[in-house]
Amino acid sequence: MEINDIEEIRYRGNIIDIILDINLEIDAANRWELLDPHAMIEYSIQGGGEVSSIELIDNGMRVHGHHFSKRDIELIENYLREEDIVNRTKKYFT
């Protein structure tokens, strides 16, 4: 998996939804017949903050049955940490 960019950030009280534009390996994209894959990350900002869930979405719809690999989850978490997305976002919404 490769992360291209941040597509959207939504703030819902103690939750931040972060939508990332991603590229999946060709086998996964073909198997799931994906046209426009994105990762939707739900991040809880209570306490120390943590990723609550990561979902694959395509054309705005959740792809049921898909599970990100441990490597993909680590890649997403590292990207959020390196880009300081959560702290930068909290400044605008709190």
pLDDT tens digits, one per residue of 2-26: 999 999 998 888 888 999 999 998 8
- Global confidence as pTM: 0.86
Interatomic CA distance for residues 15 and 45, integer angstroms? 6
Tell me the pLDDT band of 84, cut-offs 50, 70 and 90: confident
Between 90 and 81, where is the model more confident? 81
Q: Tokens representing 59?
A: 């054309």
Predicted confidence at residue 50, as pLDDT, reads 86
Tokens matching residue 26: 């060709």
Specify the 3-state DSSP secondary structure of 32: coil
Residue 70: how many CB atoms within 10 A of its CB?
8
Number of separate domains in the chain = 1
Range of the domain at 53: 2-93
* CA 9 – CA 89 distance, rounded (Å): 8
